[in-house]
Amino acid sequence: MTTTPPRSAEIARDTAETRIRVRLDLDGTGQAQLATGIGFFDHMLDQIARHGLVDLDVRCEGDLHIDGHHTVEDVGIAIGQAVRQAVGDKQGITRYGHSYVPLDEALSRVVIDFSGRPGLVLQAQFTSAMIGAFDTQLVHEFFQGFVNHAGVTLHIDNLKGVNAHHQVETIFKAFGRALRMALAPDPRMVGTIPSTKGVL
């Protein structure tokens, strides 16, 4: 009987600005334990876990007395590192994923490619600068940190929205579902790298 190795990882990342511990399981059930010190950010990470079916444990002690920038960016970096480690050589994965997610008046589209090449295109005009203690500019910083260290190409478009909370939430939900699709095993690609180059 052939068993699939676990796709999980643990990352510890300490800087002068943040102290972060991330544990994740790409084949989980969407369970999350989150403590970043920014309530809305925890809520968004929970969307990734729930809709991506990723078990995610994130603990961060950051310099929130300054602002949330370092916390959000560095958590993106650490999650990107964990995903890259957990996915391994990418044999047998679907590679590409996409999702449209609505929330009332808001609608977002996310497309991801586990290409091995970091790239982010994010198009969003948020209608508010702040959601609670969360600066909406940090949506870009989170995903930039993630793509740089996960080695993925990521296109994010908020297509509609009036309420900034809804705009951001549709982005994170769509990201979770696109991630789930891309990382799903493709039964026709068992033991094969999904690229004509033979490596990703």
For residue 3, pLDDT over 70 is answered with no
Residue 194 lies in a domain: no
Output the DSSP codes for 93-148.
B--EEEEEEEETTEEEEEEEE--SS-EEEEE---S-SEETTEETTHHHHHHHHHHH
Evaluate whether 171 touches 70 at the Cβ level (below 8 Å): no
Mean pLDDT, residues 61-84 taken together? 98
Containing domain of residue 140, as a range? 8-189
For residue 2, pLDDT over 50 is answered with no
Mean pLDDT of the chain: 96
Residue 3 lies in a domain: no
Residue 200 lies in a domain: no
CATH code of 23's domain: 3.30.230.40
Which phi and psi (to 5°) does residue 175 adopt? -60, -45
Residue 147 lies in a domain: yes
Q: Is the dihedral of CA 145, 98, 172, 79 positive or negative?
A: negative
Number of domains making up the chain:
1
Residue 33 lies in a domain: yes
- Give the model's pLDDT for residue 200: 87
Residue 199 lies in a domain: no
What amino acid is encoded at 38 in this protein?
A: I
Residue 25 lies in a domain: yes
Beta bridge partners of 61: 19
Mean pLDDT, residues 25-41 taken together? 98
- Give the model's pLDDT for residue 62: 98
Residue 20 lies in a domain: yes
- Give the model's pLDDT for residue 1: 41
Q: Give the strand order in the sheet containing 153-160.
A: 96-103, 106-113, 153-160, 119-123
User: Which residues touch 184 (CB under 8 Å, ≥6 apart)?
Assistant: 93, 94, 97
Evaluate whether 148 touches 79 at the Cβ level (below 8 Å): no
Mean pLDDT, residues 52-61 taken together? 98
pTM, full prediction: 0.96
**pLDDT tens across 118-166, in order?**
999 999 999 999 999 999 999 999 999 999 999 999 999 999 999 999 9
Burial of 6 (0-12, 13-18, 19+ CB in 10 A): exposed
Cβ count near 62 (within 10 Å): 23
* pLDDT bracket for residue 61 (50, 70, 90): very high
**pLDDT tens across 142-151, in order?**
999 999 999 9
